[in-house]
Structure 1
Amino acid sequence: MLSRYLDESIAVLQRTQEALDATVVDTAVTRIADALGAGRPLLVCGNGGSASDAQHITGELVGRFLKERRGLNAICLSSNPAVLTAWANDYSYETVFSRQVEAYGQDGGVLLGLSTSGNSPNVVAAFEAARALGMTTVAMTGEGGGRLRALSDLLIDVPSRHTPLIQQAHICLYHYICEQVEARLAG
C-alpha cells in the first residue's frame, strides 16, 4: 500500500516536471522577487490544506528559508481568524480574501493563490480584486486551472485531479519558489 502511494506521488511529480513550463515558474519567481524587492506585498491565500500551504509560504519568506536575510513583506490572507470570522459573519465567506486584497494589495504587488480545483470562490474573488489593483496574479492549481486559469497572469497547474497529490507537488514547487526568491533578495 505505501509503496503504491509513493509510486503515485512520484508519477505526479514526474508528470509535473514534463508538463510544466519552467519559464512560468521562473517568471513567477521574478515577479515575486521584484515586488518584494520594491517593497510591494506578496499576498497568499487558499482554503483548507491550501490555507496551511499559504501559511507555510509566508512563514518561509517572513522568517527564512535557507539564508539569513531581512524579513519579506509576505502576508497570508487565511491566518487572521478575527478578520476571517468577522467578515464572513457580517458579509460572506466568498469575499474574505478579496476584502484583504483591498486592504493590503498594491499595484505592483503579487497575489499567489492555491486551489487544487482552481474554482474556490473566495480565491477567485481575490484574483478579481487583485487584477483590479494592478497586481500580478499567480495561481497554483490542479490540472487545467479551473476558473483561476482566466484570472491568472501565471498559472502553475499540476497535472492531476487528486487533491493530496496536487498538494504534494505544490509543496515542491513553492519550496523552489521560496528558495529562488530568497536567493535573489538575500544579497
Structure 2
Amino acid sequence: MPSEHDEAAHVAALLRRGAELKLALAASPQPVLDVVGVCEAAIRAGNKLMFCGNGGSAADSQHLATELLIRLRGSVARDSWPALALTLDPAALTAAGNDFGFDEVFARPLSGLGRAGDVLFGITTSGRSPSVLRALKVARGMGVVTIGLLGGDGGPALALCDHALVVPDSTTARIQECHITLGHIILELLEDRLTERRG
C-alpha cells in the first residue's frame, strides 16, 4: 500500500501534468478563437450548436449544451441560445443502437435534427470513437460545421473536423479536464461577444 507521502507526490504530479497541458494549449490560442468565431456566426445566423461523445464525453456534451441553453455566468444577462446534446434521449439512443447499430447513435438523430450552418462538436479523447466519427462524417455531408475536442494526435477524427482542439496527451482523465476547460473558455468568449461584454 502506498504511503501518504507517495500519494501526496502523486497528487502533485497529476496537478502539474494538468497544468502543463493547459499551458501547452495556451501557447496557441488562435484555434480556440477560430472555434469561438464559428459558434458566434452560427448563433447570429439562427443556427444551433450540437454536441456528442461517449461516457465522460457524453457528460461534457450535456454540460456544455446546458450552459448555452441556460447560462454560464450568473453575472451575464442574456437569452437562451440554441444547443443540443445528442446524448440526452435514451429512447432515441437505444432505438438507434438496436435498429442501426451503436455507431449510428449520434448520426441518426443528427440527420433529422441538423441543418446546414449548424455546428457539431464531436468530443472523443482518442479521436477514434466510431459513433463520433460517423456523426462527424454525416455532419460534413449536411453542411454542418464540424469541431473536434480531441486528444493524443487527434486520430482519424482530425480529418473529419473543420476545426480541432487537440490535447496532446494519452490519459483520458487529463484530456477530459482540458476539454471542459476549453469548453468553458469558448462559452465565456461567446457570451462576451454576443452580449458585447468586455472585461
Shorter-chain TM band: over 0.9
Q: How much is the aligned-residue C-alpha RMSD, in angstroms? A: 1.1
Task: Provide the rounded CA distance (Å) in 1 between the counterparts of 2:115 and 2:191.
Answer: 21
Following TM superposition, by how much is the alpha carbon of 1:5 offset from its aligned partner in structure 2, in angstroms? Answer: 1.6
Alignment-derived partner of residue 6 in structure 1: 15
Alignment-derived partner of residue 59 in structure 2: 52
TM-score, normalised on structure 2?
0.89
Output aligned runs, 1:127-142, within 5 Å: 127-142=136-151
Give deviations 1:66-114, integer Å, cap 9, x for gaps: 2221111100000111110111112211001111211111111111111
Alignment-derived partner of residue 117 in structure 2: 108
> Secondary structure of the equivalent of 2:111?
helix
Alignment-derived partner of residue 162 in structure 1: 171
- Structure 1's consecutive aligned runs of 4 or more residues displaced over 3 angstroms after TM superposition are none
Task: Provide the rounded CA distance (Å) in 2 between the counterparts of 1:128 and 1:120.
Answer: 12
Structure 1 gap segments, 5+ residues each = none
One-letter amino acid of the counterpart of residue 145, structure 1: G
Which protein is bigger by CA-based radius of gyration?
Answer: 2
Task: Provide the rounded CA distance (Å) in 2 between the counterparts of 1:40 and 1:46.
Answer: 21
One-letter amino acid of the counterpart of residue 176, structure 1: I
Between 1:168-177 and 1:8-17, the stretch displaced more is: 8-17
Give deviations 1:140-170, integer Å, cap 9, x for gaps: 1002111111111101001111110001111
Kept in 2, the 8 Å contact 1:41–1:104? The answer is no
Between 1:27-36 and 1:3-12, the stretch displaced more is: 3-12
Q: Identify the structure with bigger relative contact order (alpha carbons < 8 Å, sequence gap 6+).
A: 1
Structure 2 gap segments, 5+ residues each = 1-9
Alignment-derived partner of residue 86 in structure 2: 77
Between 1:2-11 and 1:171-180, the stretch displaced more is: 2-11
Alignment-derived partner of residue 89 in structure 1: 98
TM-score, normalised on structure 1?
0.95
> Secondary structure of the equivalent of 1:87?
helix
Alignment-derived partner of residue 130 in structure 2: 121
Task: Provide the rounded CA distance (Å) in 2 between the counterparts of 1:128 and 1:29.
Answer: 22
> Secondary structure of the equivalent of 2:12?
helix
1:25 aligns with 2:39: no
Kept in 2, the 8 Å contact 1:65–1:178? The answer is yes
Kept in 2, the 8 Å contact 1:110–1:137? The answer is yes
One-letter amino acid of the counterpart of residue 115, structure 2: Q
Task: Provide the rounded CA distance (Å) in 2 between the counterparts of 1:27 and 1:11.
Answer: 23
Alignment-derived partner of residue 191 in structure 2: 182
Alignment-derived partner of residue 71 in structure 2: 64
